[in-house]
Structure 1
Amino acid sequence: AWREWVRTLTVPLEWQEAVIRAAIALKLCAYEETGAVVAALTTSIPEAPNSGRNWDYRYCWLRDAYYVVQALNRLGAADMLENYLGYLRNLVGQAGGGHIQPVYGVGLELGLGERTVDALPGFRGMGPVRSGNQAYEHHQHDVYGQIILSAAHAFFDERLLRPGSIEDFHAL
């Protein structure tokens, strides 16, 4: 299946193997049921040895997802863009009072309460292992710009099966 998907991409001749591998790695971060793009497929890999900075990134960070979708769109993966735009439509539709979190669950979950899993030692014994991410409570105003940058494609990209509508424009 991955070979069929790669055949749909516009891959430069230079660095072809590396670009294909990177594209596949990014594609694997997509949750096709909702269009969410997760920042990582794992949790609690330390940022530095024995630092305790072990976070759960198995969620859709709007900023990171934008960059993933943008990179794959440049290779011609319009399906990823279209699925992510659907995720954003649903996200904006449920945003009470216009507040947008920096991070959501793949199923648009809002509360991602963080806890440690004491029964697991962590990567190479360098715990803690975390489930959830308290960053959903943060206010990061750049997320509005990331939504606009992503959504702009809905109104200009002729390849999309569901282009942006006037309702989408007003909702955003």
Structure 2
Amino acid sequence: PIFPVLLAGKIFGRLADLHAEDMTGGITAKLSSRLLDSLHTLITSHTSNNLIVRLQQGYVQNIPADVLVLKFSGTFQGASAQIFEALKQFGVKVSIDVLKSEYGAYQLLDSNGAILAPKVLYISTPFLRNFKYADLTTFIKRAFSLLRQHHPDVHHIAMTIHGVKFG
């Protein structure tokens, strides 16, 4: 399969920046140098820190990170459901009422050893069937903003992949 990857600009706003990335090798496929160079150019021109994006196959609860970011889309599904259950087993209380209160509502929790990451950040999003590209960018911006506000020392953020037929 070939997945479209937006390099810059608004969706459909700058089609010249849309690059189809061949991922026939699955999530372990090597990304093209064109994509990586474009991302590097975008990142370094707008930030003072380096951002390293790494795709890692495995169970997200076993990924060493400072914080695991997950979405709550009206209910817990997939990895967010598995982490929710693991947190419950370790005595961590996740307030579904808080997450259901509005889009963008969040809970930043100590994992108490339920997973490798010491912190878990749940952010409320629209239901998956209504989860659009704009919602994805809002989710990511919200996650980074919350982490910058509450844990500016975070260096390693883990999250599941997002896109059509993914997370």
TM-score normalized with structure 2 length: 0.29
TM-score normalized with structure 1 length: 0.28
The structure carrying a bigger helix percent of its residues is 1
The higher radius of gyration belongs to 1
The structure carrying a bigger strand percent of its residues is 2
